[in-house]
Structure 1
Amino acid sequence: MSADGMNRRAAIRIAGAAGAGTVLAACGSSDSDDTSSSGTGTATTATTAATSESSAASDSSGGDAIAKAADVPVGGGVITDTYVVTQPASGTFKAFSNVCTHQGCKVAEVVDKAIKCPCHQSTFDIATGAPTGGPATKALAETAVKESDGNIVKA
């Protein structure tokens, strides 16, 4: 076997080991909450698709609608491109960042009065955005919202 063949094999082994290390590091646990990493969560819910269309709508004051109020179930929520919009009690709407505070994954669903992240199973309260389980220790960032003409808009 030539020296070139050995060098090529060694390079492939090194590249493979480096790639595996990167994958393991991305899935690894962390004691600190890191919101600077980009989200890699790919799970979606039916509610995400339902609100994608409403994110382009406008309310009467000219602001962009985050979601349609009718799409946000009482005790649940919907996920848009940027926010998780919830309705913890009838007529009370909340909006939080859809980026998990643990390692920056996008949250994937709102079930059983909890916002859930698929990456490391962190859960957040739909009324406060506070962590209720998993490795996340910081609340989701909240954005003040109100209902206007059937749309949820920034307050």
Structure 2
Amino acid sequence: MTSESLQPQGAPARRTVVTAVGATGLALGLGACGSDEQPSSGAGTGTADDGGSGGGAAGSGGVLARTADIPEGGGKVFAAQGVVVTQPVKGRFEAFSSTCTHQGCAVNRVADGVISCPCHRSEFSAADGSVRKGPATRPLPAKKISVAGEEIRLA
């Protein structure tokens, strides 16, 4: 007598249940990775900041950061706004999407002229968002910012 013959009639076989649970777990795991074509939004940083030090709603033209907040040769990731702001050289500020173009993970760090993604170790130039190291093959899309005096605003 097999274990399947001891189950009540109409109940699924153990093998069917195990297969279904495994398939569900696989689908959830793959869904969390995203895809190259439809990156998810989000951001984070080694020194994550969900807003600027100047207050206001940055998404609506409020102050995102002060120029002094963005280190020369580095940058800062703003999670709530989905943007990373860099200062590749003194006085020049750039902004890019904080969503990695590989599989939609959030970049998490800017240091030594490089924007880094923790998921698969892609690296992007802090100067122009271009790919420095894959697996990403597309640059980070540029975002519009304005710098007036010491205030950086997301346009």
Offset, 1:83: 0.5
Offset, 1:5: 8.9
Name the counterpart of 1:22. Answer: 27
Unaligned runs of 5+ in 1: none
Residues 75, 58 of structure 1: alpha-carbon distance in 2 compared, 3 angstrom cutoff: same
Offset, 1:86: 0.1
Name the counterpart of 1:36. Answer: 38
Secondary structure of 1:85's counterpart equals strand
Offset, 1:144: 3.0
Name the structure with the higher helix share.
1
Residues 4, 128 of structure 1: alpha-carbon distance in 2 compared, 3 angstrom cutoff: farther
Residues 11, 130 of structure 1: alpha-carbon distance in 2 compared, 3 angstrom cutoff: same
Offset, 1:151: 1.5
RMSD: 3.1
Residues 1:9 and 2:31 aligned together: no
Task: Determine if contact 2:75/2:85 at 8 Å carries over to the other structure.
Answer: yes
2:69 to 68, 71, 76: 71
Number of positions where the alignment pairs a residue of Structure 1 with one of Structure 2: 147
Offset, 1:92: 0.3
**TM-score under structure 2 normalisation?**
0.77
Residues 72, 11 of structure 1: alpha-carbon distance in 2 compared, 3 angstrom cutoff: same
Give CA deviations for 1:8-40 in whole Å, capped at 9, x if unaligned: 634531232113422553587x9xx71414258
Secondary structure of 1:16's counterpart equals helix
Residues 45, 69 of structure 1: alpha-carbon distance in 2 compared, 3 angstrom cutoff: same
The more displaced of 137-146 and 15-24 is 15-24
Offset, 1:44: 3.8
Name the counterpart of 2:3. Answer: none
Query: Matched residues in 2 for 1:78 and 1:36: separation?
Result: 24
Following superposition of structure 1 onto structure 2, how do residues 105-116 of structure 1 map, counting pairs within 5 Å? 105-116=105-116
Give CA deviations for 1:99-118 in whole Å, capped at 9, x if unaligned: 01111111111122110111
Unaligned runs of 5+ in 2: 1-5
The one-letter amino acid paired with 1:145 is I
Task: Determine if contact 2:51/2:64 at 8 Å carries over to the other structure.
Answer: no
